[in-house]
Amino acid sequence: MLTEADDDEVRAALRDTGTQQWADIPVDQLSGGQRQRVRLALALAQDAPVLLLDEPTTYLDVRHQLEVLDLIRRLQHERSLTVVAVLHDLTQAVRYSDRVVALRHGRVHAEGAPQDVVDTALLRDVYGVRGRVWHDELSGLVCTFDGVSEMD
């Protein structure tokens, strides 16, 4: 149950996520991008120092994916949050993460700074694909996929 003391946190979360205009609209009447931002506001309103996100860009077009990830990154810095996010889009993961953890068969296969961890061997060993990884001056690391490789 919310108390008056929670009002400031709720207002700040709505302001920080740009969702004030949807505060009184039922969630099922919002678009996918609006819902994701409202869910983020709900998490922020709890004023927790750690934010756990599972696929925060699911069901969003590319523009809204980038808007949500940019928003998360900005709020991470402004609020000094620790953000742990599951992202299956590797290019987004390396662009928006300070550290990545790659799992294989439920175990940590590699972890560290994206530029130290994500390479063609990781694409092959963890994802079972042939691909290339290179550094783009504008967006950082970029992954492209050539096809499926043979898994062990």
Phi-psi category of residue 72: left, alpha or beta, with phi > 0 → left and psi -120 to 50 → alpha: alpha
Complete domains list, the chain, with CATH: 1-86 (3.40.50.300), 90-152 (no CATH)
pTM over 0.75: yes
Phi-psi category of residue 18: left, alpha or beta, with phi > 0 → left and psi -120 to 50 → alpha: left
Could you tell me how far CA 62 lies from the centroid of its own chain? 13
- Residue type for position 76: Q
- pLDDT tens digits, 66-99: 988 998 999 999 989 999 999 989 889 999 999 9
In this predicted structure, the answer to whether residue 21 has a pLDDT above a threshold of 90 is yes
Give Cβ neighbours of residue 49 (< 8 Å, ≥ 6 apart).
80, 81, 82
Q: Report, as an integer, the average pLDDT of 51-78.
A: 90
**DSSP state, 105?**
T
Q: Sorting pLDDT into bands at 50, 70 and 90, what band is 144?
A: confident
- At 3 the pLDDT is 61
Task: Specify whether the CB–CB gap between 143 and 94 falls below 8 A.
Answer: yes
**DSSP state, 22?**
G
